[in-house]
């Protein structure tokens, strides 16, 4: 036993053998992945490797992957999805990290909320508001303090509506974390929220999805600028909303 241990120890510390062994393991793993049509990953067993290795839709196949950012001198011949921080590949590290499907769902939600927010700021600041009643007043045109003037009952209605919408559309939501999209398409809330209004032509439908995505991205930048301008006056030069 001591002789065996000594032999293993000596072999383990022979200069140049460790990189060779690691290279051999990587090559063997890549061969298995190629044979079983799985994605190669360094994720260990017991940390979601079964989810990591299943077929997934890459970022390049999603609408709005911003391949146009690759149009620069020295760019690769085939356009690549814009992901300089490689967030879309976090799932390869561990099953605890989200798939692109979950990230797209989050991007769409933030974009939609930002579009509502910046529209509300512009409308409310212009003096256009609901008439209100004896219990609720919408006269406050300051977007930052107006929410504090609403009674708890009004906020309860808002939270109840959000809860009902999210609850009715929660099927398959957490499957997106692992890249499973057979039950739910990222951002699709069904016919009640306009999915049937999309064209039956896939190309035309993708154009509308791209418009929503880009408007949402712009709205996120806009509402962040307004918020910064409120906290730090003058932080957003030319902004009339503070």
What does the pLDDT average to over 112-121? 94
| 98-107, 136-145, 176-185 — most confident range | 98-107
Residue 68 has what pLDDT? 67
Residues 6+ apart with CB under 8 A from 150: 136
* H-type alpha helices, 142-201: 152-168
The Cα–Cα gap between 89 and 72 comes to 23
- pLDDT of 231 strictly over 60: yes
Of 48 and 65, the one with more pLDDT:
65
Which string of DSSP letters, residue by residue, matches 98-124? PPHHHHHHHHHHHHHHHHHHHHHHHHH
49-53, 69-73, 130-134, 198-202, range with greatest mean pLDDT: 198-202
* Sign of the alpha-carbon torsion through 222, 224, 225, 230: positive
66 vs 146 pLDDT, higher one: 146
Of 99 and 73, more confident: 99
Q: What is the mean pLDDT of residues 45-66?
A: 78
- Report the share of the chain in percent with pLDDT over 70: 77
Q: Give the distance, in angstroms, between the CA of residue 160 and the centroid of all CA atoms in the same chain.
A: 25
- List, for residues 84-109, the tens digit of each pLDDT value: 888 888 887 877 889 999 999 999 99
Closest CA to 107 of 195, 230, 210: 210
List of residues 6+ apart from 177 with CB closer than 8 A = 98, 99, 101, 102
Q: Is the pLDDT of residue 153 over 90?
A: no
Q: Is 186 exposed, middle or buried (0-12, 13-18, 19+ CB in 10 A)?
A: buried
Among the residue ranges 16-30, 80-94, 190-204, the one predicted with the least confidence is 16-30
The band of 36, judged by pLDDT with boundaries at 50, 70 and 90, is very low
pLDDT computed for residue 131 by the predictor: 82
Q: What φ, ψ does residue 187 adopt, rounded to 5°?
A: 85, 0
Fold entry, domain 100-231: Chlorophyll a-b binding protein (1.10.3460)
In tens, the pLDDT along 209-218 reads 999 999 999 9
CA–chain centroid gap for 80, Å, is: 18
Domain boundaries of the chain, sorted by first residue? 2-92, 100-231
For residues 193 and 209, which has the higher predicted lDDT (pLDDT)? 209
Percent share of the chain, pLDDT over 90: 26
Is the pLDDT at 205 greater than 80? The verdict is: yes
Which of 2-11, 151-160, 199-208, 215-224 shows the lowest mean pLDDT across its residues? 2-11
Of the pLDDT bands very low, low, confident and very high (cuts 50, 70, 90), residue 164 is very high
Confidence of residue 4 (pLDDT cuts 50, 70, 90): very low
Instruction: Report, as an integer, the average pLDDT of 98-126.
Output: 93
């Amino acid at each position: 036993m001591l002789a065996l241990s000594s032999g293993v120890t000596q072999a383990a510390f022979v200069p140049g053998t460790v990189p060779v062994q690691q290279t051999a393991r990587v090559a063997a793993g890549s061969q298995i992945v190629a044979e079983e049509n799985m994605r190669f990953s360094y994720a260990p067993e017991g940390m979601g490797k079964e989810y990591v290795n299943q077929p997934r839709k890459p970022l390049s196949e999603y609408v709005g992957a911003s391949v146009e950012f690759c149009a620069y001198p020295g760019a690769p011949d085939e356009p690549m999805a814009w992901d300089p921080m490689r967030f879309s590949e976090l799932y390869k590290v561990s099953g605890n990290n989200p798939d692109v499907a979950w990230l797209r769902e989050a991007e769409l939600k933030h974009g939609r909320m930002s579009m509502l927010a910046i529209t509300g700021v512009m409308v409310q600041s212009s003096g256009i508001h609901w008439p209100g009643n004896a219990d609720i007043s919408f006269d406050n045109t300051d977007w930052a303090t107006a929410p504090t003037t609403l009674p708890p009952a009004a906020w309860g209605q808002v939270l109840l509506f959000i809860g009902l919408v999210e609850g009715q559309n929660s099927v398959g939501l957490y499957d997106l974390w692992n890249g499973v999209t057979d039950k739910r398409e990222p951002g699709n809330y069904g016919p009640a929220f306009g999915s049937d209004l999309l064209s039956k032509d896939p190309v035309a439908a993708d154009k509308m999805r791209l418009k929503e995505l880009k408007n949402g991205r712009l709205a996120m930048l806009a509402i962040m600028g307004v918020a910064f301008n409120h906290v730090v006056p003058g932080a957003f030069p030319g902004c009339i909303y503070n």
